[in-house]
Structure formats: structure tokens, C-alpha cells
Structure 1
Amino acid sequence: MEHPVTANKISGLIYWFFPVAVGIIQAVFNSYYQILPVTIAFIDGLTFYLVLGLLGIAVWYVVRYNDPEKSAVIQILVSHIAAAVVFTSLWIVSSGIIVKILINNPLYDQYLNDLITERIIGGIVFYILLVSIYYTYVFSQHNREKLLRESEWQNQIRKTQLSALKSQINPHFLFNTLNSIASLTLTNPEKAHGMVIALSDFMRYSLRKQQDDMVTLEVELRNIGLYLQIEKIRFGNNLLYRFDVEEACNHHLIPNLILQPLFENAIKYGVYETSKPVEVILDARKFPNAMEITVINDFDPESVPLKGEGVGLANIKDRLWLVYGSSRLLTIERGNTRFSVTMIIPDIAESIH
């Protein structure tokens, strides 16, 4: 922990302002009331309080040695009583010697002897005040460090949770794709071969981007394009899709792999449950301070079970909350034949990490 006086120029200036100011005030008082000649009054006042300031800097090390978080109360009290005696004695003796070297005046010797009691009391009071200020600084630094540790800990927890949520995506998708490949090897080996190649491209791309917390929408859509190529092999002409994206949205940062569960959901409840062609539409619009992404798909109300939102949408809700700190960024709407999911992606995503 840095010394509060030497930590920066401002704290040093504030610290030295007080002993200099008190020394000048005392000198003015003594000279005004003719207790001491002007020259002697200023030498006395400035010498005593500059020495007091120098000794006060050393008091910090007594405070650091007697940290309340590491030392017993009795030890702290004994240490500070002893230090206060040494501090006051050194102050009065050393200051007196310096002034006597500078001034050889019997009148001043008498003045010094008359003020000995007041200066002992003043030295002890100054020591107590200074120790109180130093301990206030120590407590504030401990509290600041504690808050920083808690913040870092929360960030680590958040990153761990995000990684766990992200890791749920690929295994779920791989399970479905490998099942499809297994089926196609029996019914259509050529399609199975094409799906293996498409899956290889998708996984290569995903692994390269796996460590990125945030990617641009353009990059994420490229990833979704590879994913949809695989699903297109599975469903053929029954799966139609298009992206309607404003140019300004392409470079907007979004959480990595967050769109895939939306398309998985659309295919699962739209394409998978009907023999008719189903169109999946992604619409991205830029607004001040945010981007809105909507994924829409047709569905057959007679075939689709209406209960639940599925693991994918719950995963997205959790990730949006962890990244942006809001639970209101995902909206789900179900019409008679259309299902839509809308995400709001704020501009500032890095501030929570």
C-alpha cells in the first residue's frame, strides 16, 4: 500500500499545507502580541511545525505495522502509546535544538521552557489526529481492494457461466447433426457426404471463434450461413431462409454464437414439424444505442406443441442477462402461424466484462 502523503502530488501538497499554515499562524500570533520578535517567531513556528510534518510522515509506518486486520487490539494500543511518546519527545527535542542553533537568545530559552507542557499535549493530539487519518486511509484502501476482488470474482463467475452456456450449443447441435448423418448414410450416402463436409467447415469456423466473447453481426451471420447449409442438406426445399440486415448493423458487436439457438428453435418447431416449405427470416435494424434482431418462422399450429420455450431460448435469455445485465432484452411472440423472437443488443457490451 502506498504512503498516502507520497502517493501523488495533490495529497503531498495538502499534507504540507497544514503544518506550514499552523507554523505561520503561530508566528504571526507571537509577533503580533510581542511574545517573540518577528524573526524569532517565524523561525520558531516554521521549524517546529516542519519538523512535526517530517516526523508525521514516519508515523505511517507505525500504522502499517499495526494493521487492524492482522494485529491484536492490545498490540496496536501499546505500539501507538510508545510511538506517541517517542514522536512527541523527538519533535520537541530536535526542533528545540535546531532553533537554538539558529537563535542564541536567552529570551527564547525561557519561552521554550514555558511552552513545554502545551507542546507535549499538542504533539500527542497531533499524533492521534494523524493516526486517525492514516487508519481512515488504510480502511478505505482495504475496502477498495475488497470491492475490486469481489468485482474480479464476479467477472470470473460471469465468464464461467457464459462459457458453460456457450458450451451447451455445439454439443446439442452436434447430437442432431450426427443423428441426421447416421440416417443419411443408409438412405442417401451422397447427402451424408455433403453434410460431413459442411459440418467440418462449420466446426472449423466455430473453433476459431470459440474464444471470442463478442463478434460482429457480419461474422455471426457467416457462422449461421454454415449452420444453415448443414440444415439445408437435411430438409432440402422445406427450409427457406433470408437475411434482411441494414448496413449499419454489420459491425455491431453481439455475443458469440447467440444466433444459432434462434435458428435451431425455428427449425425444430417450424421445419421439423411440417412437410411444407417453411421460411426463416432474420431481420436486423439499427437504432440509437442498440440493434434489434428478429428471427421469424412459420409453423403448423396443429403439429407444434405449444408448451415451453426450449433450452435454446432459455440459454439466450441467460447469456443476455450475464452480458448486458438486463432480463428484458428478449421478446417472444407467437401468432396463429408465425413465431418470432426479438433480441435487443445494446451498443456497449464490453463495460460489464
Structure 2
Amino acid sequence: MEHPILSNRFGIPIYFGFWFSFTGMLFIIDWYFQNALYQEALLSALSISSPLLIIAPSIWFVVRHIDVDKIGRLAAALHHITVAIIMVAIWLSLTYLIFSFFDKDPITKGTRPEVIMPYYWLAFMAFAIYDYIVMMYYMIIYYRNFKEKIEQESELKDLVKEAELNALKSQINPHFLFNSLNSVSSLTLIRPEQSREMLVKLSTFLRYSLDQDLKELNTLSNEMKNSRLYLEIEKVRFGDRLILDFESDPICDDLKLPNLILQPIYENAIKHGVHESLEPVGIQTKAYLKNKNLIIQISNNFDKDAIPPKGKGIGLKNIQERLNLIYGRTDLIAITLTESIFCVNLEFPQSL
């Protein structure tokens, strides 16, 4: 773990700011409250604070070496008491050494130079400052560990989210491929001369679909281009029984939505609407901007008397789960079913 003072570009300026504040406090105590001369107060303050310039950063290595989680609180406390005694002894020795060296006219010759306070009070202050510095370093360590844990949890959530999206992708691709191959098979029996055209379009569509990453966003124009390709494939099969209607505001062309999110809806419209009805079925698609969100409405009519085909409901459930994973919301899809109209409303926030 990097040193919070030496490895941070703001660490050294902030540390010197605290050091100057501490030195100024010592100077004011001696000069104002104890009526010392200006020069004596300044010398006394610098004598006490100068060793701290080296001692305070050095305590970090002690704190990093004494791991409370590994050796326990009692052992850590004993270690710090021992180190504190050594540090304080070094600090006081350097303080009196510096003061004696620069004090050319001691007040009482042959005795200890007089600094701000007696040595026992100075020792008490040094112990208190050591404890404060140790506490601050441990707070930094715990903050960094907490931040690292949050980042790891976030990365884990992203990995889980990506795994779930990949699972959904592996689920929807066989589902789509099964429906598409059924369409090709049916067309081969009905109009074999058009089956080649449909296979070419199908291969183009599959190439696009399999290249997409379900966690990435795409523009509406690209998605609609791909959706039109799929519906054209189905129109070759169903002819006039399939009526397509697209209505999109040009301002929506560059808006974002998840890749292939519309595909299962069109598949359902074909399977439950066109396939089960002898009358023409229209699939209407509307796209517009509302409250800075992209709104897409896809609806189709269906034969209310037809027996619905069996299915597991993979398509709409897949959409619901993907929207929840990507946007973190469960209210982005709404399904409306009337007597003969099935409508799906989708909302795509433009700010993730």
C-alpha cells in the first residue's frame, strides 16, 4: 500500500500545512501565553516541530507492519507502546539537541535549555501526537480497504451481470434460430423458388445478430434496419398476410437501446399473430421521444378464436430480465392485451 503522504501529489502540501499550523501553535503558546521573546519562542517551536517532519512519515511504516487483524488488538497495542517510547525518546533528544545548538545564550548556564514546557509535559504531548498520527494512518488504511472492497464488489456485480446477459444471449439465439429455420422450411415447401432469397437474407440477419453483444447499446436506426430485414424474411413467407407499418421520429435515429431487444417481440407477433390467422395481420412500430427517453410501441392484431401455440414465453421474459440488468428498472416494459390487439410498450432511458 502506497504512502499516503509521499505517494500523493496533495499529500506533501497538506502535511506541510498541518506542520506549519502545529509550529505556529507552539510559537503562540510560548510567545503570547508565556511572554517569551520572539526569537526564543520561534526557536523553541522549531526545535519541537522539526523532528516531526521525519518522524510522522516514518510512523506509516510501523503502522503498515503492525497488522491488527493478524496479531490482535492487545499485541498491536503492546507493539505501539514500545515503538512510541522509542519514537518519543528520539523526538525529545532531537528537540533538546536542536535547541541547545542554536541557543547561544541559555537562561541558566549549565542546565537544561528551557523550551516551551517541561520535559514530562513535552513527553506527554509527543505520546498524544504519536497516538493521533497512528489513528489517522489506520483510518486511511481502513478507508482504502473499504474502497477496495467496494470496487471488488462492483467488479463482481459487473461479472455476474455479464454472465447473466450471456446466459440470456445463449437462450434467445437458439430460440430465434428455431423460429427462423421453421420459416425457411415452410417456405421451401410452399414456394421453393423464393427459398434461396430468404436464405440469403437469413444469413445476413444471423451474421448481424450473432455479432452483437447484448450488454452493449446500439442506435435505433441500426436496430430498425436489422428488424426490417427479419420482417422482410417473414414477408417472403407470408406475402400479403403480413402488413408492416413503421412510424419513427427522425430525431430518434441516434438514440440508444440494447442490441436485439426488439427481436423477440417481432417473433411473437409472427408466431401468435400472422402464423395463426388467415386474415392479414399488421405489425405497427412507433418510435418517439418522451421525457428524454426513447419510447417504442409495437402492436399487432391477432385472431381471437385461434388456438394459441404452445411456448415457454422466453421472448418477453428475456426482454424483462435484460432491461432490469442493464437499466436496473422493472417498469420499462408494459404489455396491453385487448380483444384482438396485442401491444408492447418499451421505454429506454438515454442516461445510464
TM norm structure 2: 0.91
Q: 1:117 aligns with which of 120, 135, 144?
A: 120
CA, structure 1 residues 34+192, in 2 after alignment: closer, same or farther (shift >3 Å)? closer
The AA in structure 1 aligned to 2:298 is V
Question: Within 2, Cα distance between the matches of 1:137 and 1:242?
Answer: 61
Q: Alpha carbons of 1:40 and 1:180: their partners in 2 closer, same or farther (altered >3 Å)?
A: same
Gaps of 5+ in 1: none
Q: By how many angstroms is 1:155 displaced?
A: 1.2
In structure 1, C-alpha distance between the alignment counterparts of 2:34 and 2:336, rounded to whole Å: 89
- Choose from 150, 160, 174 the match for 1:171: 174
- Look up the match of 2:300: 297
Q: Counterpart of 1:97 in structure 2: which amino acid?
A: L
- Given the alignment of the two structures, is residue 160 of structure 1 paired with residue 167 of structure 2, yes or no? no
What are the Cα deviations for residues 247-270 of structure 1, in whole angstroms up to 9, with x where unaligned? 011100100000001101111111
User: CA distance change for structure 1 residues 114 and 68 in 2, over 3 Å: closer, same or farther?
Assistant: closer
SS in 1 for 2:331: coil
1:110-149 correspondence to structure 2 within 5 Å:
110-112=113-115, 115-149=118-152
AA at the equivalent of 1:20: F
Partner of 1:249: 252
Report the counterpart of residue 27 of structure 1 in structure 2. Answer: 27
CA distance in structure 1 between the partners assigned to 2:119 and 2:35 by the alignment: 15
Q: Does structure 2 conserve the Cα–Cα contact (< 8 Å) formed by 1:240 and 1:277?
A: yes
RMSD, aligned α-carbons: 2.4
Amino acid at match of 1:249: C
User: Are 1:318 and 2:288 an aligned pair?
Assistant: no
1:231 to partner: Cα distance: 1.4
By how many angstroms is 1:307 displaced?
A: 10
Show the counterpart of 1:279.
282
Letter in 2 for 1:89: A
User: What SS does the corresponding residue of 2:51 show, helix, strand or coil?
Assistant: helix
How far apart, in 2, do the equivalents of 1:56 and 1:16 lie?
11
**Aligned-partner residue type, residue 143 of structure 2:** S
Structure 2 residue 41 is matched with structure 1 residue 38: no
Q: Which aligned pairs between 1:76-225 and structure 2 lie closer than 5 A? A: 76-107=76-107, 109-112=112-115, 115-210=118-213, 213-225=216-228
Higher mean alpha-carbon deviation, 40-49 vs 263-272, is at 40-49
Q: Deviations over 1:187-228 (max 9, x none)?
A: 433233222212111112223334771100000111111211
Is the 2:286–2:296 Cα contact (8 Å) retained in structure 1? yes
Match for 2:345 among 326, 342, 352?
Answer: 342
Residue 340 of structure 1 aligns to a residue in which SS? Answer: strand
- Closer/same/farther in 2, CA of residues 272 and 68 from structure 1, 3 Å limit: farther
Deviation of residue 306 (structure 1)?
A: 10
Kindly tell me the number of residue pairs found equivalent between the two proteins.
349
Q: Secondary structure at the match of 1:107?
A: coil
Moved more, 142-151 or 73-82: 73-82
CA contact (8 A) 1:166 1:257 kept: no
Counterpart residue identity of residue 96, structure 1: Y
- 2:68 aligned counterpart, secondary structure: coil
Q: Deviations over 1:25-83 (max 9, x none)?
A: 33233233556432122111123113224311111111122233444434422321222
Aligned to 2:56: 56
Deviation at residue 107 of structure 1 after TM alignment: 2.2
More displaced stretch, 300-309 vs 78-87: 300-309
Measured after TM superposition, the shift of residue 8 of structure 1 is 4.1
Deviation at 1:163, TM superposition (A): 1.9
Structure 2 distance, partners of 1:200, 1:308, is 25
Tell me whether 97-106 or 313-322 shows the greater mean CA deviation: 97-106
Equivalent-residue separation in structure 2 for 1:127 and 1:345 (angstroms): 56
Contact kept in structure 1, 2:215 and 2:259, CA below 8 Å: yes
Report the residue type matching 1:236 in the other structure.
Answer: G
Amino acid at match of 1:140: Y
Q: Secondary structure at the match of 1:345?
A: strand
Q: Give TM-score scaled by structure 1 length.
A: 0.91
More moved, 299-308 vs 287-296: 299-308
Identical-pair percentage? 35
1:291 and 1:345 in contact (8 A); partners too: yes
Distance in 2 (CA, whole Å) between partners of 1:343 and 1:303 is 27
